Amino acid sequence: MTFLHQVLVVAVKDLRAEMRTKEAINASFAFALVVLLLFSFAFDPDSESSKEIAGGLLWIVFAFAGTLVLNRSFARELPNDCLDALVAAPIPGSALYLGKAIANYLLVMAMELVSLPVFSIFNNVTRPVTAQLWPIIGVLALGTWGLTVIGTIFSALTVNIRLREVMLPMLTYPIMVPALMSAMRLTTDLVAGKPFGPDDFTWLKMLVGFDVIYTAASVALVETVLVG
Amino acid sequence: MTAVSIEGVWKFYGDYPALRNIQLTAESGACLALIGRNGAGKTTLLRTIAGFSRPGKGSIKILGTEPRQTETRSKLGFIGHGISVYDELSALENLTLFAKLYNLPDPQKSALEWLERTGLERVRNGLVREFSRGMRQRLAVARAFLHEPSVLLLDEPFTALDDRAIAVLQRLLREALAAGKTIVMSTHQLREALELASHVALLNRGQVAFHGPCTPEMVADPGYVYARYGETS
Determine the distance in angstroms separating the CA of B89 from the nearest CA of chain A, rounded to an integer: 7
Least confident of A25-39, A73-87, B76-90, B210-224: B210-224
pLDDT tier, B233 (very low <50, low <70, confident <90, very high otherwise):
very low
The predicted structure's pLDDT at residue A227 = 87
Q: What is the pLDDT of residues B105-121, one digit of tens each?
A: 999 999 999 999 999 99
- Of A65, A50, A67, A61, which is closest to residue A188 (Cα–Cα)? A50
The predicted structure's pLDDT at residue B231 = 62
- Of A103, A61, A109, A110, which is closest to residue A86 (Cα–Cα)? A103
Average pLDDT over residues B21-35: 94
The predicted structure's pLDDT at residue B225 = 81
C-alpha of A23 from chain center: 16
Q: Is the confidence at residue B133, as pLDDT, over 90?
A: no
Q: What is the pLDDT of residues B164-199, one digit of tens each?
A: 778 888 889 999 999 999 999 998 878 778 888 999
Residues of A in contact with B150 (CB under 8 A): none
The predicted structure's pLDDT at residue A179 = 96
Alpha carbon distance B166, B195 (integer Å): 13
Structural Rg of chain B based on CA atoms: 18
Q: What is the pLDDT of residues A201-227, one digit of tens each?
A: 999 999 999 999 999 999 999 999 998
Alpha carbon distance B99, B18 (integer Å): 34
ipTM for this prediction: 0.89
Residue among A6, A88, A228 minimizing CB distance to B76: A88
| B26: enclosing H helix or E strand | strand B16-27
CA B13-B17-B21 angle, 5° bins:
135
Average pLDDT over residues B206-230: 85
Least confident of A79-88, A162-171, B64-73, B141-150: A162-171
C-alpha of B65 from chain center: 18
Indicate the pTM of the whole model. Answer: 0.91
Does the CB of A81 have a partner CB in chain B at under 8 Å? yes
Contact B88 A20 (CB under 8 A): yes
Q: What's the whole-number average pLDDT of chain B?
A: 90
Q: Is the confidence at residue A228, as pLDDT, over 80?
A: no
Residues of B in contact with A82 (CB under 8 A): 82, 84-86
Q: Is the confidence at residue A19, as pLDDT, over 90?
A: yes
Least confident of A73-77, A139-143, B165-169: B165-169
Q: Is the confidence at residue B232, as pLDDT, over 60?
A: no
Average pLDDT over residues B73-98: 94
Average pLDDT over residues A169-193: 93
pLDDT tier, B85 (very low <50, low <70, confident <90, very high otherwise):
very high
Question: Regarding predicted confidence, which is higher, A68 or B232?
Answer: A68
Average pLDDT over residues B92-106: 96
- Would you state the torsion angle of the CA atoms of residues A192, A198, A202, A205, taken in this order, to the nearest 10 degrees? 90
Alpha carbon distance A102, A104 (integer Å): 5
Q: How many CB pairs under 8 A join A and B?
A: 80
Average pLDDT over residues B207-230: 84
Does the CB of B49 have a partner CB in chain A at under 8 Å? no
The predicted structure's pLDDT at residue A164 = 84
Q: What is the pLDDT of residues A79-93, one digit of tens each?
A: 899 999 999 999 999
Chain A contact probe: residue of B73, B75, B86, B102 with most A CBs at under 10 A: B86
pLDDT tier, A8 (very low <50, low <70, confident <90, very high otherwise):
very high
Does the CB of A15 have a partner CB in chain B at under 8 Å? no
pLDDT tier, B46 (very low <50, low <70, confident <90, very high otherwise):
very high
The predicted structure's pLDDT at residue A77 = 92
The predicted structure's pLDDT at residue B215 = 87
pLDDT tier, A185 (very low <50, low <70, confident <90, very high otherwise):
very high
Q: What are the backbone angles phi and psi of residue A214, rounded to the nearest 5°?
A: -75, -30
Alpha carbon distance B138, B115 (integer Å): 9
- Share above pLDDT 90 across residues of chain B, in percent, rounded to a whole number: 67
Average pLDDT over residues A164-179: 92
Q: Are the C-beta atoms of A162 and A81 separated by less than 8 Å?
A: no
